[in-house]
Amino acid sequence: MRAVGYRHSLPIDRPEALIDLEIGKPVPQGRDLLVQVKAVSVNPVDTKVRMRADPKGGEPKILGYDATGVVAATGPDVTLFSAGDEVWYAGSIIRPGTNSEFHLVDERIVGAKPRSLAFAAAAALPLTSITGWEMLFDRFVVPRGGGEGKALLIVGGAGGVGSITIQLARALTRLTVIATASRPETRDWCKTLGAHHVIDHSKPMPEQLKAIGHRFVDYVFGVTESGTHFDAICDVVAPQGKFGLIDDPKALDVAKLKGKSASLHWEAMFTRSTFQTADMDAQHRLLNEVAALVDNGTIRTTVAQNLGRITAENLRRAHAQIESGRTRGKIVLEGF
């Protein structure tokens, strides 16, 4: 079957950074679904793994996490899906990725694809939806339907995670949602998705928050450049507030949070699948809930660009755009 992968960690401007491959078709075992992949999206984690994980033993590494597709076959222990079902999911970081014609995934981290979306439009949402959902409800423990009188600051509101977190927070909580964006087009994007306020993270954030009536914010979600913005975050997080992050700052002086008794929360959406936690099927349930929100028109896809077919050339273009740090929404590809 066709796939895209790499044999050596290389800068994305090198043709060998991602290459077209022919590999064997996998066979589902246990609770695995064999999914015929219809569309994928590209996330920052794809670029980070490509640069940090040099394959060993000459075997190529296949990247890709977000996917939509059709169940082609099931393992003997599968109970949630049948052949022919249309599905969406974000995969596992410890298994081969979704940039292949057929892909194995544990059914417990798979949801039913939204009926109202085409495969490419749906592929934009799984990984970011899981990340935003888990930060809001598992890490911050915001009550569903609650949060009135409290505020959420999303530092980096226009990227994939920020784009869906704005929508989830507006749809499922009563928080005041404040996003950051530094360009006119990204500010407009955040407002269109439902942010109550948008401030500029390239300028001092405390002063901008005061200007809109928020000396402190109860929850701060650091989507990008958390190290760069950490001092400002420590300034604006409320006493006994919560700071959560998903990026990889080199160092944080967490003692700066002590005076406010503020807590720090990491979110890694691959934790459940990596460690096979007892609540691993929480991702199956939340993806089904997100699909229902899409189908009833409460939230929408965050696709900003479709780069065409799933080829090495097109994926190199997608990785280059992600690495630029200037993307808006999600980049998708579809078909082999």
- The answer to pTM > 0.85 is yes
- Residue ranges in 92-140 assigned as alpha helix (H): 119-123, 126-133
Q: Per-residue pLDDT averaged across 296-301, rounded?
A: 97
Q: Per-residue pLDDT averaged across 274-294, rounded?
A: 98
Pair 156, 256 in one domain: yes
Of the pLDDT bands very low, low, confident and very high (cuts 50, 70, 90), residue 35 is: very high
Considering the domain boundaries, does residue 173 fall inside one?
yes
Decide which of 238, 266, 294 is a domain's last residue.
266
What average pLDDT does the structure give for the chain?
96
What are the tokens at 249?
A: 């700052």
Decide which of 215, 242, 266 is a domain's last residue.
266
Spatial contact of 262 and 239, defined as CB atoms under 8 Å apart: yes
CATH number for the domain spanning 308: value is: 3.90.180.10
Q: Per-residue pLDDT averaged across 10-38, rounded?
A: 97
Structural domain total, the chain:
2
Domain that holds residue 190: 128-266
Q: Per-residue pLDDT averaged across 13-19, rounded?
A: 97
CATH number for the domain spanning 136: value is: 3.40.50.720
Q: Per-residue pLDDT averaged across 105-109, rounded?
A: 98
Q: Specify the 3-state DSSP secondary structure of 198.
A: strand
Decide which of 266, 290, 318 is a domain's last residue.
266
Considering the domain boundaries, does residue 271 fall inside one?
no
Of the pLDDT bands very low, low, confident and very high (cuts 50, 70, 90), residue 251 is: confident
Residue 150, CB-side half-sphere exposure with 13 Å CA sphere: 22
- pLDDT of 58 above 80: no
pLDDT tens-place string over residues 61-75: 999 999 999 999 999
Pair 119, 135 in one domain: no
Considering the domain boundaries, does residue 227 fall inside one?
yes
Question: Distance (Å, rounded) from C-alpha 172 to C-alpha 293?
Answer: 10
Pairing of the two strands 330-334 and 32-42: antiparallel
Considering the domain boundaries, does residue 272 fall inside one?
no
What are the tokens at 120?
A: 């490419």
Cα distance between the two ends of the chain = 10
